[in-house]
Chain A
């Protein structure tokens, strides 16, 4: 059973800064099976990135995903006020697994 570990648990940054979020898997898997979601309080998660590096429809290009094997990264190049939220990585295999999330908060 694959376990996804996200770090840091909380990231405090200011608007305009660059955010780097990590998702590490307990086993290798294909990059096509890794996705990232954004969730704001009281809202459903929103798909940001699928296949490790493909932006979902309507997602701004300041969001980018990379990685392979066991190490994956979500980068937000220049933080906008609306980007402060919780971010989850997800593995899709025989079942779905989510990381525990990284909370991106305003410094």
Chain B
């Protein structure tokens, strides 16, 4: 079955960087785009960007452009999301999710809580 398993919770200081991993299994890694979505405490869902594991290219939300980098490793079927220059407003649960037919996100990771302290 399709699984997306994310790395554990992180606590970072303001100004630092964080790198979250998402290990996929149960399907052909290069056949599906992966998205990153975050959710601040008590808030809604916010899309950060999309990664193409086949070509390695990305599209980032304008809000995160210049501060986020999404990469992948085909040998381990893992995608990564690195966010730089962290601030307290980046405290959130970060999710990876698999793209379905460029219409929706059909499988999600369990989420990774990133806490940014000043």
Is B108's CB under 8 angstroms from A45's CB?
yes
Is B103's CB under 8 angstroms from A50's CB?
yes
Alpha-carbon distance between A50 and B99 when the two chains are bound, in angstroms? 12
Alpha-carbon distance between A5 and B86 when the two chains are bound, in angstroms? 29
Is B47's CB under 8 angstroms from A97's CB?
yes
Alpha-carbon distance between A8 and B97 when the two chains are bound, in angstroms? 27
Enumerate chain A residues within 8 angstroms of B45, measured Cβ to Cβ.
37, 45, 88, 90, 98, 101
Which residue in chain B gives the minimum CB-CB distance to A35? B104
User: Using a Cβ–Cβ cut-off of 8 Å, how many residues does chain B contribute to the interface with A?
Assistant: 23
Q: How far is the CB of B34 from chain A (nearest CB, A)?
A: 12
Is B103's CB under 8 angstroms from A51's CB?
yes
Enumerate chain B residues within 8 angstroms of A26, measured Cβ to Cβ.
none
Alpha-carbon distance between A101 and B44 when the two chains are bound, in angstroms? 7
Which residue in chain A gives the minimum CB-CB distance to B60? A95
Is B104's CB under 8 angstroms from A88's CB?
no
Q: A35-B104, A44-B110, A47-B105 are in contact. Are A95 and B61 (CB under 8 A)?
A: yes
B59 contacts chain A at the CB level, 8 A cutoff: yes
Main secondary structure of the interface of B (DSSP, over half): strand
Q: How far is the CB of B60 from chain A (nearest CB, A)?
A: 9
Enumerate chain B residues within 8 angstroms of A88, measured Cβ to Cβ.
44-45
Q: How far is the CB of A91 from chain B (nearest CB, A)?
A: 10
Q: How far is the CB of B64 from chain A (nearest CB, A)?
A: 11
Enumerate chain B residues within 8 angstroms of A56, measured Cβ to Cβ.
104, 106
A27 contacts chain B at the CB level, 8 A cutoff: no
Pairs across A and B, CB under 8 Å, 18 listed: A32-B103, A44-B109, A45-B105, A46-B108, A47-B100, A47-B104, A50-B100, A50-B101, A51-B103, A51-B104, A57-B106, A95-B47, A95-B59, A96-B37, A97-B47, A98-B44, A98-B47, A99-B44
* Chain B residues with a Cβ under 8 A of chain A: 35, 37, 44-47, 50, 59, 61, 95, 97, 100-111
* Chain A residues with a Cβ under 8 A of chain B: 32-33, 35, 37, 44-47, 50-51, 56-57, 88, 90, 92, 94-101
